[in-house]
């Protein structure tokens, strides 16, 4: 089966208007797969859809949805309509807060959990069900190195990404016999507009050696059938994070020292 037969005829991409989400859409269109492009701002989605149509002849549709809304998954499914979805990419997921847990109203964290956990979870349930029936397709959940352990200033974010990691691993094994691929793409610092906005808001310069969204998206698409995890910048064999209680404690304290100058306070 070629790529378009396996993951077409349509993809759904959340957070498609910029950064890695935009790159997924461009690379899928180049492979002949149109996407349903989702984000809150409609204008950049429409610009991207027009660009894709002009450069590849592939026709994407757009939907303005707040993925943190309690009914977001229902809205995503409605946007997909009756189309056959062969690939679901949950890309939107950065933490816009950069704050200690108790220094913000709880509602900010509830929105992060709804967007990163509940909406991804509900959409995965529905899209995976039809893929299992058809015995083909894929789900790609965009993750972060934060999934491997807690971090100060990122406590809620890291917890949502840890959920995604364990969820992917379990579903990967369950869906494998049905020829449905499940992958979580573990990113490190990447040159996305959202990351640049965060650095600018904190008065920090752009970090050196940021990954490019194009390369990161390409790594994810190339490894769809090589789940459950692909780690940016690491080979399959490279050891993961420490697991003893002592080494995890030391790791969190080291991260705390690193994150203080970024998030302040």
From the CB of residue 100, how many other CB atoms can be counted at a distance below 10 Å? Answer: 15
Per-residue contact flags (x/-) with ligand NAP for residues 122 to 141, judged by CB under 6 A: --------------------
CA distance 154 to 81: 35
Measured from the CB atom, the residue of 6 and 147 that comes closer to ligand NAP is 147
CA distance 155 to 159: 6
Q: Provide the strand spans (E) within 1-136.
A: 10-14, 35-39, 61-64, 85-90
Out of 8, 34, 86, 93, which residue is the one contacting ligand NAP (CB under 6 A)? 93
| Alpha helices by DSSP H, 97-154 | 106-113, 120-134
Does residue 67 touch ligand NAP according to CB under 6 A? yes
Which long-range contacts does 246-253 make (Cβ < 8 Å, 24+ apart)?
248/149, 251/149, 252/149, 252/150, 252/151, 252/152
CA distance 209 to 96: 22
CB of 194 to ligand NAP, least distance (A): 3
Does residue 41 touch ligand NAP according to CB under 6 A? yes
Cα radius of gyration rounded to whole Å, the chain:
18
Does residue 21 touch ligand NAP according to CB under 6 A? yes
The H or E element containing residue 182 is strand 180-187
Does residue 40 touch ligand NAP according to CB under 6 A? yes
From the CB of residue 195, how many other CB atoms can be counted at a distance below 10 Å? Answer: 17
Does residue 197 touch ligand NAP according to CB under 6 A? no
Does residue 220 touch ligand NAP according to CB under 6 A? no
* CA dihedral angle for residue 169, residue 175, residue 176, residue 181, rounded to 10 degrees: -80
Does residue 196 touch ligand NAP according to CB under 6 A? no
The piece of 1-9, 15-23, 50-58, 124-132 that touches ligand NAP (CB under 6 A) is: 15-23
Q: How many residues bind ligand NAP (CB under 6 A)?
A: 27
Out of 6, 7, 12, 19, which residue is the one contacting ligand NAP (CB under 6 A)? 19
CB of 100 to ligand NAP, least distance (A): 19
Measured from the CB atom, the residue of 124 and 190 that comes closer to ligand NAP is 190
Asked if residue 9 lies in contact with residue 84, where contact means CB atoms within 8 angstroms, the answer is: yes
CB of 63 to ligand NAP, least distance (A): 10
Residues 151-190 that bind ligand NAP (CB under 6 A): 187, 189-190
Tell me which residues are annotated as active site: 157, 161
Q: Which residue bears the tokens 């049905």? A: 178
CB of 45 to ligand NAP, least distance (A): 8
| Residues at the contact surface with ligand NAP, assessed by CB under 6 A | 15-21, 39-41, 65-68, 91-94, 115, 142, 144, 187, 189-190, 192, 194-195
């Amino acid at each position: 089966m070629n790529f378009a037969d396996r993951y077409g005829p349509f993809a759904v991409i959340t957070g498609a208007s910029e950064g890695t989400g935009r790159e997924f859409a461009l690379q899928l269109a180049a492979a002949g797969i149109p996407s349903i492009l989702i984000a809150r701002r409609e204008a950049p989605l429409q610009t991207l859809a027009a660009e894709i149509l002009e450069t590849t002849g592939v026709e994407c549709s757009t939907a303005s949805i707040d993925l943190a809304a309690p009914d977001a998954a229902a809205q995503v499914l409605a946007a997909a309509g009756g189309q056959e979805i062969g690939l679901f990419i949950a890309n939107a997921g950065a933490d816009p807060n950069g704050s200690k847990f108790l220094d913000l109203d709880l509602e900010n964290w509830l929105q992060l959990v709804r967007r990163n956990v509940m909406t991804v979870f509900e959409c995965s349930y529905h899209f995976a069900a039809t893929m299992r029936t058809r015995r083909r397709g894929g789900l790609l959940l965009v993750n972060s190195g934060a999934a491997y352990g807690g971090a100060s200033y990122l406590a809620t974010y890291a917890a949502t990404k840890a959920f995604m990691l364990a969820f992917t691993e379990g579903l990967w094994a369950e869906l494998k016999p049905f020829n449905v691929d499940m992958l979580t793409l573990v990113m490190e610092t990447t040159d996305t507009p959202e990351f640049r906005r965060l650095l600018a808001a904190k008065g920090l310069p752009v970090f050196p050696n940021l990954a490019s969204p194009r390369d990161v998206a390409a790594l994810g698409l190339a490894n769809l059938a090589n789940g459950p995890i692909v780690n940016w910048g690491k080979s399959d064999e490279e050891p993961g994070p420490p697991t003893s209680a002592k080494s995890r404690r030391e790791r969190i304290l080291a991260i705390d020292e690193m994150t203080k100058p970024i998030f302040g306070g």
